[in-house]
Structure 1
Amino acid sequence: MRIPAAPLLFGLLLAAPFLWGAATLLSGDLARWGAARIGAPYIGPNLQLFLAPVVLPFMAGALWGLAARTSGARALVAMLLAAAPALWMFLMGGGGAASLGVNLIFGFAGVLLLDFAFSRWGLAPPWWLALRLWINLSAIAALALTVV
Structure 2
Amino acid sequence: MSGVPRVPLILGLAGLIPFIWGALTYLNDDLHAWGTQTIGARFVGPYVQLFYGSVILSFMSGVLWGFATKTSGSRATVFYTLSVLPALWAFFKTGGGPISAGINLMYGFAGLLVLDAIFAYWRLTPVWWLRLRVTLTAIVIACLAVGVYL
So what's the TM-score if we normalise by structure 2? 0.90
Shift of 1:9: 2.0
Task: Say if 2:8 is the partner of 1:7.
Answer: yes
Moved over 6 A (4+): none
2:20 is aligned to 19
For residues 62 and 53 of structure 2, the distance between their equivalents in structure 1, rounded to whole angstroms, comes to: 14
Specify every segment of 5 or more residues in structure 2 that has no aligned partner in the other structure, as ranges.
Answer: none
- Tell me the distance in 2 between the aligned counterparts of 1:133 and 1:61: 18
1:58-137 equivalences in 2 (<5 Å) = 58-137=59-138
Q: CA deviation at 1:73?
A: 2.1
Q: Among the aligned pairs, what percent are the same residue?
A: 49
TM-score norm. by structure 1 comes to 0.91
Letter in 2 for 1:13: A
Partner Cα separation in structure 1 for residue 31 and residue 3 of structure 2: 33
Q: SS at 2:96's partner residue?
A: coil
Equivalent-residue separation in structure 2 for 1:125 and 1:86 (angstroms):
22
TM-aligned CA deviation for residue 124 of structure 1: 0.5
SS in 2 for 1:95: coil
Offset from partner CA, 1:23-57 (integer Å, 9 cap, x none):
12222232233223333221111211111111111
User: For 1:130 and 1:82, how far apart are their aligned partners in 2?
Assistant: 19
- The aligned length equals 148
CA RMSD of aligned residues (A): 1.5
Give 3-state SS (helix, strand or coil) of 2:95's partner: coil
**More contact order relative to length (CA 8 Å, sep ≥ 6):** 1
